[in-house]
Structure 1
């Protein structure tokens, strides 16, 4: 059996310091790595002079990490990855920073990864590289003489051609993808935008079964939506911790319906638009004030990037204005929390919420939507309100699908969700739940690796 080699910016395999795999992606990949006696390579998250790989084997899974110099972190991670590619791929051209040193740092770090990893690759290994941080890495490994099957999966959207061409040397970036054997996208929409670029900018041609040819090179590109570890999350929702959190939420609600949002603090998540939509609901339905409240959990991220500091300050002010305008002596309409919580605690929060509000402006998939559905009581489920611009909307089309830019659309959907009879809530929840269970993260992993193994 071939080993599976996973390479990503950060490593989520279990270690002595962090014994449990974090999140569904880590669970799926660590299970595959354990079966295949593979290795998960990535950045340690620490700064320091790049040296030898640090290997650790824990619970049957081997990880290998390197430190990066501070300049590389500034240019590769904070710079090109998070100030150039991330905003551009999320359709935010006005936030995209085009700096030559960012691109130089990005390519330099990918070369470093190739140099330190290539000697540890065996001829029969399957190599699976993840996300926008590592787009050129397959090409780098080919330069080191590797002829292995190499796959790449993009977890975020692929932008329209007219946006991508704003990137200096955009052709160079896309050319690198043709070093892979299989390239995966979250949805058919992102796959189609990739097709558009390849055919119009590169003169490529599309063949059967996902084949794409440019010049002498043919790759396979597929849509492969990632799921959650559904059974594990369903079990989480029934755990003691989740039950205690559920009771706590019900008691603190004092009979009011809970609307919940859970998002990393990021401008792509549409938090400002969500707050505006909730404010519109409060403005237009004053009789509902005593019966509802909203909890937004938004742990901060990427504090080194100015746009993230800006969005945090703006949301602090906006949440304060909403509470100042509508709160009463015994009611606060919006609870805004800037910290993360364990997944079993979140499962209890989701189960207590009458409405799950998931309204990103653009998202590759969005697993919070799937977690919310998985956590619900089958006999009395809540209602998912989901942005049409989340990748998950293609699978969870029984949700109330909204335009996140429209405050009125969000407000109307909140009102509809809170008034929805139990029979309709169950009818909408059931097909979403079935999809989440059948196309879970293990299904996703097997679908991609099966495609990668096919010659």
Structure 2
């Protein structure tokens, strides 16, 4: 059996449940093969030399964890600068927020080259290498340049933008050429595969050999959609724990006379938070019966608050919440409860279960697992309703949700009102279908499908 090597920007100890379903799923495969998980240690060495970092090895059961420190200069250029200052906004269609002129690409290349050198010394000839996400797009190209011939796959957790948006990235041709060093590229949705195919067809001299096969730069690349899922049983069990049960009971007591609408995400401009609050205002204006009876709990966990775009977003949200509460609030009711801090994962199932409606309305998202967690947490006898953006990758898998365009405030408010008034039998039918879908395509299905497809490709 070949050993699995997983590479990601950050790693987690797969033995710890708090790591989440993804770490557990990947960890199981690593454990079975006696695998290696490689990534950044999370440590920044303030006076470190760029392109150099200490390698740390530790054993976690049958899995070897290998991490590398970053110098401050490497961290700021590779992670903050190019990964999150250029690739993240562009891949989420926000060219206006991308910092193209700062020259971060040199640090991005340098760190990927350093990771490749550190990783190569740990590899075995028959390893299968699975690289994750936008931070590490050129890693396989660096490994190939060093003579590594192992089978390599890459999974992108964020969306692929349309060709003209992707082409706005300086050196976009180098970025895509780097992907052809992999044997298999996995994307979240069929829309992402279509965007990649169109880019290859218009911006490169690649031969399109089939719906999922491309030939360019002397390499043949398979590109397929592998929509990521959650560990449904693990999340259901989490909902039966004391913390989740206490949260559910607390919400039921405090809101016994209210209908709860819920949003849970990181503070990020891709999540459509200002649009959601404006839609909630529209709901109260258009359907005044919700005044005094509907409450929106919006959790926006802190994220990258040193970046100007995030600070501006935080300020806008605080202003919108204050405006809505000031215009509609009463002495015994505030329409919006805005929480700008992390909520423990073990409490989330209870919060989801207490909500009548979940608002999962990003402007663009690779998948969005909150939508799937909400479905898994519901009481099948009296389930809540999922209102889901058509621009989330999850929309392809979850057609029984109420799909909306988050830019269309009026129509989205109408849909939320429909969700609040939906009859029990329709809620049950929709939930049953959604639950069946997330069970069929869970995180273990995702792992198996990707690794099986990679294993089926002949080694270089």
TM-score (normalised: structure 1): 0.97
Given that 1:21 and 1:27 are in contact with CA atoms closer than 8 Å, whether structure 2 keeps it comes out as: no
Q: Give the alignment's Cα RMSD to 1 decimal.
A: 1.2
Distance 1:58 1:175 in 2: 35
Query: Which deviates more from structure 2 when the two are superposed, residues 290-299 or residues 356-365?
Result: 290-299
Specify the alignment match of 1:174 in structure 2.
176
Q: Which whole-Å CA distance do the structure 1 matches of 2:121 and 2:61 have between them?
A: 24
1:390 equivalent in structure 2: 392
The residue aligned with 2:30 is 33
Q: 1:351–1:375: 8 Å Cα contact kept in structure 2?
A: yes
Q: Secondary structure at the match of 1:290?
A: coil
Q: Would you say 1:24 and 2:26 are equivalent positions?
A: no
Shift of 1:325: 1.1
User: Which one of the candidate residues 425, 431, 441 is aligned to 2:443?
Assistant: 441
Q: Distance in 2 between matches of 1:363 and 1:221?
A: 19
Distance 2:409 2:2 in 1: 52
1:352-363 aligned at under 5 Å gives the runs 352-363=354-365
Deviation per CA, 1:324-347: give whole Å up to 9, x if none.
111100001000001112222000
Show structure 1 runs of 4+ deviating over 6 A.
Answer: none
| Secondary structure of 2:253 counterpart | helix
Matched residue of 1:67: which SS? Answer: strand
SS in structure 2 of the partner of residue 196 of structure 1: helix
Matching residue of 1:6: 6
Deviations 1:27-86 (A, max 9, x none): 111111111111111111110134331112124332111110111111111110111000
Q: Tell me, what secondary structure is at the counterpart of 2:301? A: coil
Stretch of structure 1 that moved more, 430-439 or 383-392: 430-439
SS at 2:425 equivalent: helix
1:52, 1:116 within 8 Å by CA — same for their partners in 2? Answer: no
Contact 2:261–2:294 (Cα < 8 Å) also in 1: yes
CA–CA distance in 2 between the matches of 1:424 and 1:287?
Answer: 22
SS at match of 2:261: strand
User: Using the alignment, how far apart are the partners of 1:231 and 1:180 within structure 2?
Assistant: 33
- Paired residue total: 452
Aligned to 1:292: 294
Q: Which residue of 2 aligns with 1:47?
A: 44
Match of 1:365, SS?
coil
SS in 2 for 1:141: helix
**Equivalent residue in structure 2 for 1:222, among 205, 221, 224:** 224
2:243 aligned partner: 241
Closer, same or farther in 2 for the Cα pair 1:418/1:402, shift >3 Å?
same
Matches within 5 A, 1:315-326: 315-326=317-328
> Mapping of 1:26-175 within 5 angstroms?
26-48=23-45, 49=48, 50-175=52-177
Aligned to 1:197: 199
In the other structure, the counterpart of 1:428 is: 430
Whole-Å separation in 1 of the counterparts to 2:61 and 2:302: 31
- Rounded to whole Å, the distance in 1 between the matches of 2:389 and 2:414 is 14
Distance in 2 (CA, whole Å) between partners of 1:437 and 1:131 is: 24
Q: What is the aligned partner in structure 1 of residue 280 from structure 2? A: 278
Instruction: Quote how far apart the aligned CAs of 1:413 are.
Output: 1.2
Tell me the distance in 1 between the aligned counterparts of 2:429 and 2:208.
Answer: 39
Measured against aligned partners, the alpha-carbon deviations of 1:161-186 in whole angstroms (never above 9, x if no partner) come to 11111111110100000000000000
Instruction: Tell me the TM-score normalized by structure 2.
Output: 0.96
Give me the whole-angstrom Cα distance separating, in 1, the residues matched to 2:344 and 2:208. Answer: 44
How many Å separate the matches in 1 of 2:256 and 2:334? 12
The residue matched to 2:334 in structure 1 has which SS? coil
Which deviations, in whole Å up to 9, do the C-alpha atoms of 1:132-189 show, x marking residues without a partner? 0000001000011100000000000111111111111110100000000000000000
Q: CA deviation at 1:322?
A: 1.0
Deviation of the 1:21 alpha carbon: 4.7
